[in-house]
Amino acid sequence: MDFFSIEFFTALLSIIVIDLVLAGDNAIVIGLAARKLPKDQQKKVIILGTIGAIVIRAIATMLVVYLLKVPGLLLIGGILLIWIAYKLITEEEKHEVESGNNMWAAIRTIIIADAAMGLDNVLAVAGAAHGSLLLVFLGLLISIPIVVWGSTIILKFMEKYPIIILIGAAVVTWTATKMIVKEPFIAGFFAEEWLQYAFEFIVVAAVVAFGYFKGKRNKESLHDTQKTAS
C-alpha cells in the first residue's frame, strides 16, 4: 500500500475512528484499577499500565494481521467484526474491574483486563490495516494518547451524542465488509466492483439500522422496568 495513496489515508482514518470509539473502555479500566492508590502513584500506574497494555496489543494485532492471511479467516474475522459492531450499538458496556491495592497489582490488572477486552480493537485495527504493519504501528501510536488522556472526554461526548457510536459502528462494519470481499474463497462472487460496493453499503446500512432500533427498544424496555420498579 503506497504511503501517499488515498487507500492508505482512508485506512488510517478508519483506524483512528475505531480507536476513538473502542478505546474508551480502556480509560475506564485504568481509572477503576488505580482508584484506591495514592495520588502520587496513580500517574505511574496509568503510564506503565498503558505501556504494558499497548505492548500486548501490538503483539496481538501483528499476530492477527498474519493470521488473517490464512484462507478462510478473513471471512470469519469479518463476520465476527460485524457482530461486534452490532453489539457496540445495542449493548451498554459493564465494567467490573477490581482495583489494585498496590502499584504493581494495579498495573497487572490493567494489562490483563485490556487483553481480555481488547479483541474488538485488535481485530478491527488489523482488518482496517489491510496487512500493513506500518498502519498497525501508526494506529497504536494514535491509541496511546487517546487511552491516556482523551478517552474519558470521548466517552462523555458519546453519551451526549449517540450518533458518534453509530458512526463508529458503521466504520467497524465497513472494515468487516472489506475483509469479507477480500476472502479468496468468495472473491469470485465480488469480481464486479459494483457488487463489492453494493454489498458493503447494504451490510453497513443493515447493521446500523437494526442496531439502532434494537438499542432504542432496549432503552425503552429498561426505562419501563425502572418505572415499574419505582
Quote the cell numbers at residue 80. 465476527
In whole angstroms, what is the distance from residue 203 CA to residue 176 CA?
A: 9
Per DSSP, 191 falls in state -
Closest by Cα among 40, 21, 215 to 120 = 21
Quote the cell numbers at residue 45. 500506574
In whole angstroms, what is the distance from residue 206 CA to residue 29 CA?
A: 31
Q: Which long-range contacts (CB under 8 A, 24 or more apart) does 201-204 make?
A: 203/82, 203/173, 203/176, 203/177, 204/170, 204/173, 204/174, 204/177
Quote the cell numbers at residue 178. 472489506
Query: What tens-digit pLDDT sequence spans the chain (230 residues)?
Result: 566 678 888 888 888 777 766 665 566 666 666 666 777 777 777 777 777 777 887 788 888 888 888 888 888 888 888 887 888 778 655 545 555 567 777 777 767 766 665 666 788 888 888 778 888 788 777 766 666 665 556 556 666 777 877 887 888 888 888 888 888 878 788 888 889 899 999 999 999 998 888 877 877 776 666 666 66
**pLDDT for the residue numbered 27:** 61
In whole angstroms, what is the distance from residue 81 CA to residue 70 CA?
A: 17
Beta strands in 84-189 (DSSP E): none
Give Cα 217 to chain centroid, integer Å. Answer: 24
Closest by Cα among 124, 60, 45 to 87 = 124
Quote the cell numbers at residue 54. 499497548
87: left (phi over 0), alpha (psi -120 to 50) or beta: alpha
Q: Label residue 164 exposed, middle or buried (CB < 10 Å: 0-12, 13-18, 19+).
A: middle
Q: Are 75 and 183 in contact (CB under 8 A)?
A: yes
Cα dist from 96 to 27, 44, 191, 196, whole Å: 13, 22, 46, 41
pTM (2 decimals)?
0.67
Residue found by looking up cell 426505562 in the block: 223
Please state, as a whole number, how many other Cβ atoms lie within 10 Å of the Cβ of residue 197.
13
